[in-house]
Structure 1
Amino acid sequence: MIRDATPADAAAIAEIYNEAVLNSTAIWNDVVVDADNRVRWIAAHHDAGVPVLVLEEQGEVTGYATYGAFRSFDGYRETVEHSLYIRADKRGGGRGRMLMEALIAFAREDGRHIMVAAIEAENAASIHLHERLGFVPVGRMPEVGQKFGRWLDLALLQLKLDDRTAP
């Protein structure tokens, strides 16, 4: 089941987030968070009218997805950048695709125009998932990040959410 997150999901979301921080280049951060941090994070998203979707399986949160402002300037207000994370033991099997399809539908209903994916360039599985969903590669930024003692390249992909020719 895919549903909007509640504060009761904060511990599970923190666990998924922290696993990615500690063991992957999916999140370019070195600091783990606690459930209280994620309660505030969920509330801030909801206050901004932005979804935090969770995938629940047999009573457990196994993934989450959300989006936020691509950049803070007014001219970018209809462009969002998303985040998608699946619990390590549940990756594969279409969970990411299900969450992304729900998030894309929400963004379309919300009147968004472009969704941006910023992915560590060696993450072939994530890039492939996004391309299957219609995202197109639009750029690569070499060595803009670092983690685990090495430089990271950022692949940028985007999905056009509507056919408007003007805002």
Structure 2
Amino acid sequence: MIRPATPADAPAIAAIYNDAVRNTTAIWNGTEIDAANRIDWMAARAEAGQPVLVLEEAGAVLGYAAYGPFRPQEGFAATVEHSAYLAPEARGAGRGRALMAALIAEARARGVHVMVGAIDASNSASIALHEKLGFRQVGLMPEVGQKFGRWLDLALLQLRLDDRDAP
């Protein structure tokens, strides 16, 4: 089941986030967070009209997805940058695709024009998933990040959500 996140989901969301911090290059920092941080984050998203979705199975939150502003200037108001993370045991079974499809549907319903994904260029599974969902790679930024003692390249992917010729 994919549904809007609630404050009760904050511990699971924090655990999924922290696993990505500790073990992956999906998040390019080493700072773990707690449930209170995620409650504040969800409240800020809700206030801005931006969804946070969770994927729940058998009462356990196995993943989450959200989007926020791509850039803070008003000229970028119709463009968002998303993030989606799954618990390690939930990866590779189509759950990420379902979660992303739900987030894309939410963005379309809210009038978003373009969704951007900024992905570690070596994360071929995530890039392939995005491409299956219609994203296309529009940029590559070599060595703009670092984690685990190495430089990281950033792949920029985008999905146009509507056919408007003008805002």
The one-character-per-residue Cα deviations of 1:19-78 (angstroms, maximum 9, x if unpaired) are 000000000011000111111111111111110000000000000000000000010000
String of CA shifts for 1:69-96, please: whole Å, max 9, x gaps.
0000010000000000000111011100
Query: Are 2:82 and 1:78 equivalent residues in the alignment?
Result: no
Between the aligned partners of 2:155 and 2:81, the Cα distance in structure 1 is 13
- The CA distance in 1 between the partners of 2:13 and 2:70, in whole Å, is 22
Q: Quick one: which amino acid aligns to residue 134 of structure 1?
A: G
CA distance in 2, matches of 1:151, 1:113: 32
Which segments of 5 or more consecutive residues in structure 2 lack a partner in the other structure?
none
Structure 2 partner of 1:146: 146
TM alignment of 1:58-77, pairs within 5 A: 58-77=58-77
The 1-side partners of 2:23 and 2:71 are apart by 27
Residue 33 (structure 2) pairs with residue 38 (structure 1): no
Q: Give the drift of 1:134.
A: 0.2
Runs of at least 4 residues of structure 1 off by over 2 A? none
1:107 paired to 2:107: yes
SS at match of 1:61: strand
Residue equivalent to 2:124: 124
| TM-score of the pair, normalised by structure 2 | 0.99
Mapped partners of 2:74, 2:41: distance in 1: 22
Distance in 1 between the 2:8 and 2:41 partners? 13
TM-score, length of structure 1 as denominator length: 0.99
What is the percentage of aligned positions where both structures have the same residue?
Answer: 68
CA RMSD across the alignment: 0.4
Q: Shift in Å at residue 16 of structure 1?
A: 0.1
**Match of 1:30, as an amino acid?**
G
